[in-house]
C-alpha cells in the first residue's frame, strides 16, 4: 500500500475536532503503508513510530503553526508549559501490536489541550484512529455508547502486562477480563460495548490517554485517576501512570474498591 497525503477538509482550517480527526486518519494511512514495506520486528516498530511522528509534526506545523506539540516520539519542548494550545499526540499507540500483522488493536492518538478551557486547562478536542478497522472516534461526533449487551461487566486489560490488582477488582464486580493491546483501543472498547471498564495503574504518560480520554468524556463515560481525582494534562511532569474509564453506573463501585485497596 502506497501513501500520499490527502487534502484536509475545508472545515479543518477552523474546527479543531475536524483537524484532529483528519490528522489521526492521515497518520493511520501512513502506518498502513509502512506495514506493507516488508519490514518485521524492531525495524517495523521503529519505521512506524518515525513515519507517523514526522507526518503529524509536519502537518501540525503547516495547519496550526502557533500551537505547541507534545509527542511521544519527540523532544519535550517546554514552551508548551506557557502555551495556550498544546497538541498531545501518540503517533503509534500499541507499537507491539502494530508489528504483528494482521493485529488491529493499535491506534493513533491526537488531542488538543487548551489553557482557556478551564482551571488548569482542559482537553477540548481529540481523535483516536484504529486504521485496520477503518474507524476513527472523535470529539466532534462522539460515539454513542449503547446499553451493555453483556450478562456481566467486562474489564479491558493489557494482553501482556495485566496489573495484579485487576483480578481482585474483577472478583468484586463479578466481571470477566478482556485482554487487548493499545491503551487507546482499551479506552474506546468501553465506548464500543466491547468492554464496560478499563482500569490501569503502573505506568503511562499523557500521550497514552489524552486523546482516548477526550473522546470518552465526549461520549459520556466516566474518566478519572485511579483514586477518583481528575486527569490533568500539559503538566510539568508528563508521567500519568493510572486511569479509570468506565460506564458511569460502575464508577462509584470501582473507585471505592480501588481506593480501599491501596492500588497505585
Q: Which domains does the chain have, with CATH numbers?
A: 10-138 (3.30.540.10), 154-260 (3.40.190.80)
Determine the pLDDT at residue 78.
93
Determine the pLDDT at residue 139.
98
Instruction: Tell me which DSSP letter residue 12 carries.
Output: G
Using DSSP bridges, classify how beta strands 197-200 and 154-158 pair: parallel, antiparallel or unpaired: parallel
- pLDDT, one tens digit per residue, over 113-154 is 999 877 789 999 999 999 999 999 999 999 999 989 899 999
- pLDDT, one tens digit per residue, over 157-212 is 988 777 889 999 999 999 999 999 899 999 999 999 999 999 998 789 999 999 99
Q: Please give the Cα distance from 53 to 231 (Å, whole number).
A: 24
CB 219 within 8 A of CB 145: yes
Q: Please, which residues bridge with residue 224 across strands?
A: 244
pLDDT above 90: percentage of residues in the chain: 88
- pLDDT, one tens digit per residue, over 73-98 is 999 989 999 999 999 999 999 999 99
Determine the pLDDT at residue 258.
93
How many helices (H) and strands (E) would you count in the chain?
Answer: 7, 10
Determine the pLDDT at residue 1.
67
This prediction has a pTM of 0.95
Instruction: Tell me which DSSP letter residue 196 carries.
Output: S
CB 221 within 8 A of CB 245: yes
Question: Is 90 exceeded by the pLDDT of residue 5?
Answer: no
Residue 118 or 36, more confident: 36
3-state secondary structure 139-169: CCCCCCCCCCCCCCCEEEEECCCCCCHHHHH
Amino acid at each position: 500500500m502506497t501513501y500520499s497525503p490527502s487534502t484536509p477538509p475545508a472545515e479543518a482550517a477552523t474546527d479543531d475536532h475536524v483537524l484532529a480527526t483528519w490528522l489521526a486518519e492521515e497518520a493511520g494511512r501512513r502506518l498502513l503503508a509502512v506495514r506493507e514495506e516488508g519490514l518485521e520486528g524492531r525495524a517495523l516498530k521503529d519505521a512506524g513510530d518515525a513515519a507517523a511522528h514526522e507526518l503529524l509534526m509536519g502537518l501540525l506545523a503547516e495547519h496550526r503553526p502557533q500551537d505547541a506539540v507534545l509527542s511521544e516520539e519527540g523532544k519535550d519542548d517546554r514552551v508548551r508549559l506557557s502555551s495556550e494550545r498544546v497538541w498531545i499526540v501518540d503517533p503509534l499507540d500499541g507499537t507491539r501490536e502494530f508489528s504483528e500483522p494482521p493485529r488491529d488493536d493499535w491506534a493513533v492518538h491526537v488531542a488538543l489541550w487548551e489553557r482557556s478551557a478551564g482551571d488548569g486547562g482542559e482537553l477540548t478536542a481529540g481523535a483516536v484512529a484504529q486504521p485496520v478497522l477503518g474507524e476513527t472516534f472523535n470529539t466532534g461526533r462522539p460515539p454513542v455508547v449503547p446499553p451493555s449487551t453483556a450478562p456481566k461487566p467486562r474489564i479491558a486489560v493489557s494482553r501482556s502486562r495485566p496489573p495484579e490488582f485487576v483480578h481482585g477488582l474483577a472478583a468484586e464486580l463479578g466481571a470477566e477480563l478482556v485482554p487487548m493491546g493499545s491503551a487507546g483501543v482499551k479506552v474506546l472498547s468501553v465506548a464500543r460495548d466491547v468492554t464496560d471498564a478499563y482500569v490501569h495503574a503502573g505506568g503511562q504518560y499523557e500521550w497514552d490517554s489524552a486523546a482516548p480520554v477526550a473522546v470518552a468524556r465526549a461520549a459520556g463515560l466516566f474518566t478519572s485517576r485511579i483514586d477518583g481525582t481528575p486527569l490533568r494534562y500539559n503538566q510539568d511532569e508528563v508521567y500519568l501512570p493510572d486511569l479509570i474509564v468506565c460506564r458511569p453506573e460502575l464508577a462509584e463501585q470501582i473507585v471505592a474498591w480501588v481506593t480501599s485497596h491501596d492500588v497505585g
